[in-house]
A and B are shown apart, each in its own frame.
Chain A
Amino acid sequence: GEDVEQSLFLSVREGDSSVINCTYTDSSSTYLYWYKQEPGAGLQLLTYIFSNMDMKQDQRLTVLLNKKDKHLSLRIADTQTGDSAIYFCAESMGGGSYIPTFGRGTSLIVHP
């Protein structure tokens, strides 16, 4: 199976919270990332979490990490139409010398 798995689609109403989930298999993963890709653009780093953390909050974004279950989630509060994009989960071993492994991406659709 895939090393990093995500569901492919998520549809939410504007103003609601979005939760995008990701599971990974490598227990030695040290850093877990969320990237955002808008249509026709490259990937933009949203946030990352170190593996010894359970939670990280940055404005409307909350990242939760369950290391035991190898489960990562990204919660977007008060989702806006501008949040519509593909969100990629990625993991790496850190230290600056490893290449992140990406999931296939979750397409978030925000409707009025």
Chain B
Amino acid sequence: DAMVIQNPRYQVTQFGKPVTLSCSQTLNHNVMYWYQQKSSQAPKLLFHYYDKDFNNEADTPDNFQSRRPNTSFCFLDIRSPGLGDAAMYLCATSSTAGSTDTQYFGPGTRLTVL
């Protein structure tokens, strides 16, 4: 089945230790997104790629970076995680070829910062 896959599902890191979260998709969608979601809150968009074009949200901290080496993969790098970065990180995809803006989400990576 076509899907959005995130690895790992659970990630524990230490304060200040860099961490990378990965996302892959088999949907061949040209748009990929990274969201941060904290408890009882809506997903907060960090950045997204239209094809290779990177779009950063204005309030995304510099501590968060992203890479998209090809259509299928996208990475979220947190350079120096703080306690406030503990959250669920959701990857999503969509296609500009469709008539709707439906997003397809991965299962998320739960990040714990010690």
Contacts and interface: CB of A to CB of B under 8 A. Distances in A.
Interface of A: 4, 8, 31, 33, 35, 40-45, 48, 88, 92-100, 102-105, 107
Contacts of A4: 42
A105 B31 CA distance: 24
Chain B binding surface SS class: loop
A100 B103 contact: yes
Contact of B101 (A8, A44, A100): A100
Interface residues of B, number: 27
A99 B42 CA distance: 14
A42 B109 CA distance: 9
B40 interface: yes
Contacts of B94: 96
B97 interface: yes
A41 B110 CA distance: 10
Interface string B76-114: 000000000000001010111111111111111010000
B43 interface: yes
A96 B30 CA distance: 11
B105 A105 contact: no
B101 A42 contact: no
A31 B101 contact: yes
Interface in B31-52: 33, 40-43, 45, 48
Given A96-B98, A96-B101, A42 B108 contact: yes
Nearest to A45: B102
Contact of A43 (B45, B48, B95, B105): B105
B74 interface: no
A102 to B, nearest CB: 4
A105 B48 contact: no
B90 A102 contact: no
A102 B42 contact: yes
A80 B107 CA distance: 22
Contacts of B101: 31, 92-100
B98 to A, nearest CB: 5
